[in-house]
Structure 1
């Protein structure tokens, strides 16, 4: 889906498809250098990180494994409740592995901070975070993020895996959702 297909639903395109792919290639080069001799497990956070995880994994040249977790602090709302639930846990063991959490967007940081601590409790060699988007103005908890694609304003965004009510995930760019859509 292209922005022009839903232009009435967006107030602005923040990051284009080309910008996303260029930045993911840059992040992949950094990750390749940092993890060139390590046993790496990419952990994608469902559902939003599907696009980021797929394109990042394809851009990487290091051997790696992939697994998925589903956690939620949103429910059907546009704001985080602060209560984190595991909806799908990992299949892979983490002991001694270098875990790289792949996330679509960091809002408050509450969910990601909880997830990082949860994974650290499982005995990995390291746990780092790669996020396509970060909203610094929305942060309630400080989260150390090693790889960040773009810092964006604290607006409700959709596209490239991010949704509202399970729609707009297939938008190839990231845009600000018009308030009339969700109010």
Structure 2
């Protein structure tokens, strides 16, 4: 039987989200900010983050595909849902669940900049810089969790486990089955 190992508690997450929201609010005070959440993994983090911001923001979403049901990225990134608003001349904050290899964020940064955004900053719930294959700027980082396949707090494996309140490492049993307990 597989198991899960708690890596970050619900209270630790809440504390870091509040700290990052304060920093973002100070950095963008007096400016118009478009916050773009990367679906689906960032939706829980995004909801908590925007509720802690003390500045007005406009919210939009984008969705790409690179993982599918696998525990590793396919390396091929495709745009599934484009941004619905005009970002030309605007400051954009791209909110992502995990930045690991950098490929998805590089794709998204290039895409949003090609739409004419004045600036694009990345806010990641989890940063795994040791897995980088493509260097990308991650301006705001809530947590650095260096190893393991993570689920919970919006993070999934094959669309499962998003509902877990903390962040867990998914451990597979001898049969390859994943069983967070």
C-alpha distance in 1 between matches for 2:106 and 2:136: 6
- Select 1:50's aligned residue among 18, 23, 43: 43
The yes-or-no answer on 1:158 pairing with 2:158 is: no
C-alpha distance in 1 between matches for 2:142 and 2:105: 16
Q: Going by fraction, where is helix more abundant, 1 or 2?
A: 1
C-alpha distance in 1 between matches for 2:75 and 2:147: 17
- Select 1:9's aligned residue among 3, 12, 16: 3
Find runs of 4+ consecutive structure 1 residues off by over 6 angstroms: none
Matched residue, 2:75 = 82
C-alpha distance in 1 between matches for 2:73 and 2:2: 26
Matched residue, 2:97 = 104
TM-score (norm: length of structure 2): 0.93
CA RMSD of superposed structures (Å): 1.5
Counterpart contact for 1:136–1:154, Cα < 8 Å = no
Matched residue, 2:56 = 63
- 1:31-68 CA-to-partner distances (Å, cap 9, x unmatched) read 00000111100000000000010000000010001000
Cα shift at 1:8: 5.5
- 1:15-41 CA-to-partner distances (Å, cap 9, x unmatched) read 111111100100000000000111100
C-alpha distance in 2 between matches for 1:164 and 1:79: 10
Cα shift at 1:72: 1.1
TM-score (norm: length of structure 1): 0.92
Counterpart contact for 2:63–2:82, Cα < 8 Å = yes
C-alpha distance in 2 between matches for 1:21 and 1:75: 28
Counterpart contact for 1:25–1:56, Cα < 8 Å = yes
Structure 2 portions without partners, runs of 5+: none
> What secondary structure sits across from 2:96 in the alignment?
strand
> What secondary structure sits across from 1:102 in the alignment?
strand
Structure 1 portions without partners, runs of 5+: 1-6
C-alpha distance in 1 between matches for 2:171 and 2:149: 8
C-alpha distance in 2 between matches for 1:155 and 1:137: 12
The yes-or-no answer on 1:146 pairing with 2:172 is: no
Matched residue, 1:126 = 119
Cα shift at 1:154: 2.5
- 1:84-120 CA-to-partner distances (Å, cap 9, x unmatched) read 1011111111011110000111121101111111101
